[in-house]
Amino acid sequence: MEQEPDDARINELEFIPMEQIIDVLTEKLTEDVSNEFIESIAESIYEDLRKSYESYAKELFITRNAEMNKSKKSFAELQCFVNSTYSKILLFNKTNEFIGESSSQAFKDLQSRLNKHLLRTLATDIVNELISFFNEELLSENISHEARTKIINKLDVEFKNDFLKLNDSLNSNEVKTFIDELDECAVKIDMMIKKIDSKKEKSILSEHQQSLLLQLNECQDSILCLHILVLLVFQMVHHHMLHASGKFVPQILQFLQKDTNDEIYQLIKQCQDYVLQFKATKDDQAKLDIKTKLNESIGHCKQLLNDFIAKKLSLRIVENK
């Protein structure tokens, strides 16, 4: 069935009937004005009012459509976003698997928690963008799994089931399950998902490390600096990029202890101790003193890290053979 043009639909908008205009005029004019005169006025202004109404409706329709189109991505933009985020998810998941290879149960648990974090953030971003594209309204970042399910159930049967499986995969602990379901969805909607080779992987790692370094050198919040520092040092030591929020910092530091240059590790550990003291202290003056020490330690960390980079020194401990 052919869809009618927007202009045709606007022209079909119902305007108020002539009788309603006559009633309004009768109410507003004095009693000595004849009905015939009121009717002639109504007839003379009716067409102009109708045209003004249609013009306003058309302007409103175009404005709202423009706002929606500005917010929504084109298919090409959507494909670019999905591929870029997908590539990062692959590398972040590779890091999580690397952490889980440890014999320590604590680090296996850390892998599981990092998987959940990756699914709740970047993977969810992809699902929201895909559903928004095939839905008439944009999805909020904090939309629940149940709310997404209701929206998906309104989509075309052609790809509804695949989107439901993709949405359900966000509640699993396995990032690979999400990746597999995304591949299936991509086939259904004719979206090309590009696999990454070693050259592309190296490029993404380099860009991510440079981004972290830039964020670190520009950051003025000492607690956020510590978070960025830990992510950056992890990548420089293990050559894996890590997706983790600030709450993971203590566990990541434990993982770094064995393989990281002791000087920079002890400095970062000292920063972490100051952060814990700062959060635990109620006294304002004590908080101020701790914050001063934290800022100084963060400054030393930044300087030491930049020195290592400038001299092309490794942050990883080289074990004696």
**188 and 164 Cβ atoms separated by less than 8 Å:** no
**167 and 153 Cβ atoms separated by less than 8 Å:** no
Indicate if the pLDDT at residue 81 is higher than 90: yes
**236 and 301 Cβ atoms separated by less than 8 Å:** no
Indicate if the pLDDT at residue 262 is higher than 80: yes
Comparing 147-161, 180-194, 216-230, 282-296, the range with the smallest average pLDDT is 147-161
Give the tens place of pLDDT for each residue, 177-221: 999 999 999 999 999 999 899 999 999 999 999 999 999 999 999
The residue with greater pLDDT, 69 or 14, is 14
Query: What is the mean predicted confidence (pLDDT) over 125-137?
Result: 88
In angstroms, the CA 118 to CA 297 distance is 30
Give the tens place of pLDDT for each residue, 309-319: 888 888 888 65
**275 and 226 Cβ atoms separated by less than 8 Å:** yes
SS3 290: helix
| Burial class, 224, CB count within 10 angstroms (exposed 0-12 / middle 13-18 / buried 19+) | middle
Give the tens place of pLDDT for each residue, 95-108: 999 999 998 999 99
Q: pLDDT > 70: what percent of the chain?
A: 89
Q: What angle do CA 66, 67, 68 make, to 5 degrees?
A: 90
Indicate if the pLDDT at residue 91 is higher than 60: yes
In angstroms, the CA 78 to CA 287 distance is 46
The residue with greater pLDDT, 81 or 42, is 81
